[in-house]
Structure 1
Amino acid sequence: MFKKNESEKNHHNLIALESIIRTIREEEDLDFLIKKVINYLHSEFDCCLIWVCLYDRLGNKIVGKGGITPNGEISALKQKFTINNGDILEQVLTERKVIKVSDLRAEKQVGEWIKIAQTYQIQGTIFFPIHYKEKCFGIALMGSQEWGSSLESEEKALLSLIWGELGQTLQKIEKEWQQQQVKRPDEPILSLLSKLGKLTTLDRRLETVAEITHKFLQPSRTNIYWYYPNGRYFWRRASNHQVIVEWSDFKRPASGITLQDLGQFYNVLLAGQIVCIGEYDASVDSDITHRLIQQIRASSILAAPIILEDELLGFIAVEEQHNRSWQDDEKNYLQGVGQLLALTSPLSEMEDKIRQAKLDQTLTAGITRAIYGDDDWHKTLETTAEKISQRLGAKYFMLAVCNRGQFEVVYQHHSTDTQIVTSSLPPLSKEDITLLEQNSGVVGIENCLESHILGAWQEE
């Protein structure tokens, strides 16, 4: 269909082919290289439309690099084209196969290209993938004003050679560029080691890690999520943004990610593995991936666990708003940072326990003084309830006294939005009475809705 089959030019054709192959393999200027390929195709093939484009993975678009048209106007060939689900451009990119169209003007699955085809009366068209192995770098289009899109074996072999060589060269160019962009994780890790030892609180350490990590990996956002076992979810404790959820507010569902939303993501982290959701791969299944990226509002996520003695304390996540291919050095760095945070967390935990012990000592002394120094029993209860509620972050405090097997509410302390008990408490079950009589310590209930302990009082 396209080949200029002139026997007297066979020798010239071989020389031109050798020249263009050498150019493809040796030329480092990509724009100049593509221009040379287009000129070669124009001289060797009888077609009036040639277009070469590259795939922009981050923007999920096709970027035109030029070509030829019947009237010489190529501005339309250098614009960006949107890739729509199921259209021919997407099929060529994903399936890496040649697609033939007999009449481009009437083809509905070419998106914006139908207007160009109608403008230049392009009918017979062939779309070629420019790829290397499993990775597609772009698309080449060759079109004619004649109907049909057949290729002879010689044409197929020649075009396959040209686009195969170009795909291999693009792979080499991308690999060299990636090597130039390779990050050195040792520098930020050493910086973290020197800074973390000087910081006295866990929150300051987490903020420093988020800041340095964000500067090194340069994602859209960097967040550190901490696990709150009582609420069974992770709350965002540190970020490169300064909009951080305070400890007093972290029980609000909107401030964290529940285990139900994480699903398999949680299991992967618990196993000590890094989670990668990016352009080419995902460590978790598609359903979990979809829910997670909606929850975090990111297209690509790289997360590393923070594990101490088989306990998942939290995870550090770098989040990208666009599709991003995470590199091995980025994964190794983030996993190292997660391990570093795990090593420093016991120091912070010890400091927190010491501070809490001092606060508890002050609390106990305050309650003791209230009991022995205040003749007003109601005032003593009020002081005690306020201090205990403040210490535990509780919204409701109730004191019930057992009188002949019946519990009577003698005092209640509550926040403004908490309901109070207005009627007498119903009798407890024999099991609950036995539990309270035999237990001299504290009886803890993690979730009243899921526990049968003190079940008779739940509705109250």
Structure 2
Amino acid sequence: MVTSKAAKSVKSQSANLSQVLAAIWEAGSLDQAIMTGLDSIQAEFDHSLIWVGLHDRTHHQLTTRGLIAPKREHFPSISLAIHPGDVMEQVLIQQRPLVIPDLKLEPRAGAWARIAEKLGLQGTVILPIRRRDVCFGVLVLSSPRWGVTSGLLENATLSTVTRALAEAMHQHIQEQQRQQVKQPAQPLLTLLEDLGKLSGLDQRLGAVVEATRRFTDSQQTSIYWFESRGRYFWQRVGGQARRPLAVVEKAANSRSRISVEQIKDAYQMLLADQLVVLEEAAEGSLKAGLALRLKQLLEAPSLMASPILCRGELLGFLAVSGASGRVWSETDQQFVQGAARLVSLSLPAAELEQILEQVKSDQLLTAGLTRSIHSDGDWRRVLELCSSQLAARIGVDRLIVLSADPVHGGFEVRHISGKRLTGIAAQRHWPILADVDRQMLERSHAPIGVEQIEDNLKLIAWRPRLLEMGIQSLLVCNVSPGQAPRGLVMVADSVSRHWSQAERELVQAVSQQLGLILHQWQLQRQASQQAQMYDTLQWGLRNLQRLFQIDLLDQAGTKHIAQLLQVPLVALVAWPNGDARARIASAMVRDKKFKIDPQAAIEVQSDALINWAAHTDGLLSLSLEDLTDETRAWISGPEACQVLVMALRTAPEHEPNAVMVLADRSDRRWSDEQTTLLAMVVNQLAWCRRHLNLTGQLAIQGQQLSELNWYKQHHLDSMEQLLNQSLEPLKVLLAGVESQLGQRQQQAIHQLMSLNNRLVRLNQYERWELQPGQETMAIVGLIKRLMERANPLIQSRQLWTKVHCESNLSLGGDITKIEFVLYELIAAACDRSPPGSRIDVWCRPFDDRWLEVSITDSGLINAELIQELQRGRPTDLLSSTLLNQSEGRHFHICQSLMKQLGGEFILAQMDDQRTLSRVILPLDNP
């Protein structure tokens, strides 16, 4: 029977366990769920080490995902390999807990024995984290005591937590798989970013049409615009697959008009902001007759149409059509709806740009305050004029113009008229308003009046500042009514007063004009800053392109980035392709609080910063606390400082060999223009470095090959001269006593003369480049000559050879080069064949134009070399390849020569593990 105390304990344990399970299920990430489970186990049991490893089935290893240990630095942070027969493999396969009395003495513990030795662990329990016969990983509990407490494996907390963790891991894997499904979010974000870079409405419509066509893979995508006068739709932008985009004027599109009377039901659906979907199998909610009519009008067997609405009014629709009956997927429908809404979002911006262009063209004709702003002096003169006119008209003491501060929040002072200020009143930054005041300014289309500041709760966050300025009453107006305040115009008086309706209307009219001028001034300042930055960028890029040494290029690049972005620390970490260690190629430090070790030897594979940058496409932003101790050993700075890193990547298939690192204070705000310029400079630097590295390597290789060719050519010239001198007396002898010489003597002299002729042709016609030749020779004679030449290799390794020749056909082409290729392959087969093994040479017709020569041997060959021969040279010419090594280089030359001669060379591994060298040669066909 359970006592009340015991019952209370059971209830308390159940309540705690329920809280733990709820925390695991509600965790925002898998790591958070795992740490929640580990904390609950640590609170329940007295163990020195609690570890969760996730099973990586691809690499057959356990990756650390959760750890509680007294000395974390002694525990390896990398993945732990699983070896056949060890304790971890046993738990993963059998999916049953395993108890180990002393982990240090367990012979099958592997790396865990060394961990136990470092941490002083003995008694250990290994539990599988499983769900429905699927084991996601293991949970390790270990303590310094020998053995395991009885009843541990039966504890409800352990089994419940492991099941909850297995469920969390299952959900994590399901989420990863779900994210791999085609989603419209990222293309829509990219389209939104592209729309922000375009100015005209037609350009934006064209970008929407092109992005929609690419995503839906449709036959035709168009935007139809609605004309209220006449109530018809006309095709404004259209694009078909494999055809350029077309933007058509309304007058030129009269034949493609679709009246509302023709598609009444579809028009009602568009007005209701509904997607119209017409498919081959189903017509949605439309009638069959209407569907057929709409298909005929748009000349499409299947289509989608999404409305384009702005402020509740239908402006047109985005139409996507297929070439055949097609069922539109849910993702395609979501993308089309999102793209149509982006068009709706682009319309207000396009209208604003049109208004700005109209304002600029009317500036010379507009009297009063509205005038062109080209500099800060123009801006101040306009505001001084406004202040004087308001003072004369309504008798105010001050005019204050504020603009929203997007970096720090609140507002920034752009202009204050009146006497000089001190104290907090002189500060340019004004604090953030309360939500009620911000909403009041956003919703009100008329100025907000305050007759007595001390008796009013409006703008309470600014009250101390206003009182210090001597202000008692004011009118404040939002320059963009109905929107979040981007600019405020405030007129103030030093005495309490009642603001009349006429004064309010005057201030509202002035604020609207000042709002346009404020926006124009902001655009002018932004344009000036961008022009200055881009001038600096162009100057830096020109200097980078004029440098022809890697060291000078690296120094110029880091210096240019430091000057362009005003960054206290810029460093370039570089390493040659394939090297294990990187170095600080160049560094620019402009603040003593930031430090970098120029002599540091950085491990490329283990340094977290380099690996994060190499696996990130673009700019990566971190804080100093995110870096590992290994990285912080060579870079340091103030607390919470920012670290920006970007790999120098020239193409997705190219391996990066350098990383640009920037560091700045924590309050630094990076604009889009700055990050874009940084990416441009880094990409330019990457291409310049790659160009110099590649041209340097090619120049060295070309020089080496030229020297080798020159050296061998002079040897051949010397051999030709000596052979000519030796043949002169033989020619005289042969002319005089040819009939008295034996047949073998005559044959030897003729062979020497033939060899001399070959040397003469080689020296005269192929001195610096190969020349094609055209000869004929029987395959039997060629194979016989090759086997005689290879006989010393065959005899030295005691190989057994057999030639299988089905017919004595004749080859046509450059016989000398063909002979050299075949000898290279036979010699390679002899070199790799075990002593006493067999080599077979097969000669058989491939068809009426080609002959196949196959060489099979029992030697072993590198499988990676075979794959590289099939793929050819890698796209990244700086990467290491077996085709640049001796054996691979010879095979690649043979492959290239055979392609030039019109044949083919294939190296492969047969099913019986023999090596096949297969050559396709052209026959002599008249």
TM-score w.r.t. the length of structure 1 is 0.48
Larger Rg: 2
Structure with the bigger RCO (C-alpha within 8 Å, sep 6+) is 1
